[in-house]
Structure 1
Amino acid sequence: MTAKSEDTKRRLVQAAIDTISSEGIAKVSARSIAERAGLAQGLVFYHFGTVTDLIGQACLEATRARIDRYAERFDAVDSLTELVDLADRLHREERAAGTVAVLGQILAAAQVDPALAAAAGEALSLWTERVGDVLRRVLVGSPFEQVIAPDALAELVSAAFVGIELTEPTRGDDDLDRALGSIRRLTSTVDDLGPVARRALRSALG
């Protein structure tokens, strides 16, 4: 693919994201995307086949970009408490960047569009895999190491995060702060346990 074609696709993907963020997914069309990108409408179909396929590609590329943005911070996490703290910062940064609105729009549309559901599922799996990598590392030596499967917990964490994002407009920051505060107190307690207490808790859980 030529550099010009790559640039065209990149502009269309970004235009799709911007259109969803500013106008909502109901207003997304080949015309609205092309106009925002400053390109001919036919290029949407030439490069992506359908508007839905373009939205799905935009969802995946935006997700990969956001995960890459946080890669170093994910790699620096070495406790459950630090993972909770990162989730808090990530939520606030993503909301400020407008990606929360895009995620909500795509997930809502995915309820009735199998193609979008597949794309959204693939995008969410990228987050789940990254969270799973962190959990496999921080659970080593934890009282929960033998009783919690990291992949299953990663799925639960991702589902909870999505729920927070989708219901965010109905709640205030205080609600989220209270919820995260409760989780943080629990993880801090576990992280601060001494060797004897850890063995006792591990035995009780086993």
Structure 2
Amino acid sequence: MPVSVVSRSRDTRPMRSGCRRRRGRSQRGQSLGRASALMASGTSTADVRRRLVHAAIGQLADEGMKGLTHRKVEQRAELAQGLVKYHFGSLDGLIEAVLAHLAVLGFDNVMQVPQDVVAESLGTGVVPDSIWREARRVIDKMTSDQDVNRARFELFLHAKDRPELQAIIRRERDRFVDFITAVLPGAQGEAAARMLMAMIDGVLLHQISAPSEVVEEMAPAYLLGTISAGLLLPALEDLPPAARR
């Protein structure tokens, strides 16, 4: 009996190992085959990646990080199994692509107001109707896509103990701050931009967790008030000692 057991062990172990290797090669081949089939059907690589990113946002919004798996994303995107790995390398690669996409969407939520109108409003203290309408438009656009907002905060929490994701979030925030700073008047544009970004995150989180009609109605005033107050902030180097850590 012991001889028989040893004999089976020697016979079957190489076979199992070989099967695993062949199975791995087969799965990689299937992924390549599916990608080739998609390209042959006229579906571009960019379109496949876009569908996977959008599906990942939907999964994050519906099920959180626990629902973000290769298979669920592929099924939601109505794409073949294996394409997440083929296009992004791993789930982390997909998450990084989602963060980059969310950052791009953030640039669409910027008020389009001529600088001379902004400067005149700040100088006189009178906000024209055109600025109020633009503030309402931006707020409505930011708060309307709940899937995007839920996905963003899911990833923010997921990045808590992941320095590599924190670096991506920090970089994209800095890009947004630079963009806003360039269109704000005065020397304290950067401080105002960072204050504005923090206010927006706060309003969005507030409305996701426990929506308030008052906050929804007042949000344009919060937006404009934050910009005005932010431009009055001292520079970092000018903070009084009592305010420093």
Q: Which runs of 5+ in 2 are unaligned?
A: 1-38, 229-245
Q: How far apart are the structure 1 equivalents of 2:47 and 2:223?
A: 44
Which digits, 9 at most, give the CA deviation of each residue in 1:58-77, with x for residues without a partner?
2212331452x456x43546
Cα offset for 1:175?
Answer: 3.7
Residue pairs, 1:141-156, within 5 angstroms: 145=186, 148-156=187-195
| Identity over aligned pairs, percent | 23
What is the deviation of 1:187? 7.4
Q: Distance in 2 between matches of 1:111 and 1:88?
A: 32
Distance in structure 2 (CA, Å) of the matches to 1:133 and 1:40: 44
Task: State the secondary structure of the residue aligned to 1:109.
Answer: helix
Other-structure match for 2:103: 63
Matched residue, 1:200: none
Note if 1:29 corresponds to 2:77.
no
Residue pair 1:104, 1:165 contacting (<8 A) in 2 also: no
AA at the equivalent of 2:141: E
1:166 equivalent in structure 2: 205
Contact 1:20/1:102 (8 A) holds in 2? yes
- Superposed counterparts of 1:84-123, under 5 Å: 86-98=134-146, 99-123=148-172
| Count of residues paired in the alignment | 175
Q: TM-score, normalization: structure 1?
A: 0.68
Q: Which runs of 5+ in 1 are unaligned?
A: 140-144, 189-206
Letter of the 1:95 partner, please give it: T
Return closer, same or farther for 1:70/1:167 CA change in 2, 3 Å cut-off: closer
TM-score (ref. length: structure 2): 0.59
Match of 2:180 in 1: 131
Shift of 1:172: 1.1
Please name the residue that 2:80 is paired with: 40
Which amino acid counterpart does residue 214 of structure 2 have in structure 1?
Answer: D
CA contact (8 A) 1:56 1:116 kept: yes
Quote the offset at 1:53 in angstroms: 1.9
Max Rg structure: 2
Q: Which residue in 2 is equivalent to 1:198?
A: none
**More displaced stretch, 43-52 vs 109-118:** 109-118
Deviation string, structure 1 residues 184-206 (Cα, Å, up to 9, x no partner): 57978xxxxxxxxxxxxxxxxxx
* Structure 2 CA distance for partners of 1:93 and 1:187, relative to 1, 3 Å: closer
Counterpart in the other structure of 2:44: 4
- The 8 Å contact of residues 60 and 67 in structure 2, kept in 1 or not, is answered as yes
How far apart in 1 are the matches of 2:194 and 2:150?
21
